[in-house]
Structure 1
């Protein structure tokens, strides 16, 4: 992108007409193809699991869909973690794509991939997301390694062919599959079974409408295999997995054990953050770095205490307890104090104005232009009230959840 100034779709297409950029891409892909994970920070990092990693085969790779997906979902990770490990654009994938294009002298697939990935990376840079992303290949998903990874995390039943066929047929029989025609020789199938609520679908390009059990089986394979190697990668690294997958998919691939603070942190759901554009959340993290670290430190303490006191082994349940018992009341308390502070100051200013103490127009109480506007030399101005209110506001600013209060103000 930088070396050849290939930052747009048209620029990518133009560069790939020359051998130099293609061979350089192959060289870089070969150099960075590794699973030693030396570039992955082992603290404050989460592996993007099923439904979250935008490079997953069952998610749309179009730039608009991918950007919207990231904007809607990455905030729930970055309110707690500093880094998200993604697989793609994968060095291994690009190595074989370039090699395949050179062998067949057919660059259409390579061009198609690059013209989707480059705009995505440019968008990540534009909103400041790039400094929070770590790219590394996840564990191999070939059949032998899939079996090995499933055994490692205790999820062998998820790769049993007969069991998956039975489950796919059961889902189809219970009316848990919807199929619609999208065009000539093109069908879109999605699993709507309650156990897989929120799952994505897949486009099947074939002349004959696929059977319901065929749709269910294809999607089950994609979801469960992704869950296995994502979970195995996170286990190998010793860092949490963050997923948007329906719980039966992820729970089936997860080996239950003692909850960790980060496991729960990965599942904390905070409405104000989920509704905030990712660009604004990243900017707030940078602008309010001290408040963010305070918030995260207190959140970790609350999670640790809740784990100790709760008899639940479900990270989702513990996360909900932390939200209800710690975060939500703390943010509400700040809102109450801020409102009381503003009401008190406004009342004092209006009282001062009523007796003629203010010679100018009463403006925004927290801005210096207002102070200049009323005249600092006026002996009877309400400066004592202002500074008293400012002192109270500064006390509020050291509250544990002040960062979340700031987040809420951006809506």
Structure 2
């Protein structure tokens, strides 16, 4: 991404931004257009292809074919599913291509920040609109997006679009913001504050945990730098003032109160998920080809829900990709001195919240754009590592 971008690189960036905006809920279909630049990139450099791309392709095809075969939804067309099957592999390869140049790491970090903002901006606008129209405390947790104001969506699904914005506080802690201009810093702070308001309105414990976890991770990585703690104290002070001002007029924690101490969905049981995980692990040995949702419902785990829906073949394929992703993440972390601090913190925090969400939600059921974002990050991670040292079978 250094120097002038050619047409296909610019085309890829535009498609990624439009796809994550999820215009009229057609995000995945828009992202499938990345097949075109992906083919061009492969023709130019065949070494771009690697085992991860094939793993993602095989996973998508096997998962989609199995779910299509079991589906009774007439809107699921074979042609649409066929083209969608290429999306994850193409996004991975496009990410790998765009992040292969280390001469513009700050631009790459800014690009990831803008993509996270694209993913979050429509949910943020939709929630703020409903707060102004109906008030903060009225209604339930389910809300609409502006693409269809008659369709109420789960608060959990809407919150999934905000997970990367939960890391924005971490991006302005101490020396992490060096290299970011004032406009970018203001954008990060504004989006972070708006995301916090949306988190409170949705009653999303997951977003609160991700935000706190991201800050703690950043402090752990930069524990020797006093400026990080000074910035954190400033952030906490600002948030405390906001809560003190608005807390007298409205109850900011209305949508948390009936869930924190719940026996079925309380904190002690990870929102009732731990029992489902245990049941799913037992079912894996007796149902190798998956099981009906009616047995235990959603497992609320990315990998186990894939097994539930499609059986052991897609499960093994996505586990192999996951192991590779963790391996690259470890390499990336160990070589952080060779990487720009902004880019390092963006990618580390994004992957951190991605994995946390994967452990507690059925990603293929409502969170597919988050998975696409994760795949893009892994592609970018691989492209970055290729320029630091040679990986086997790259």
TM range (shorter): under 0.3
Higher relative contact order (CA 8 A, sep 6+): 2
Higher helix fraction (1 or 2): 2
TM-score, scaled relative to structure 1 = 0.24
| Structure with larger Rg | 1
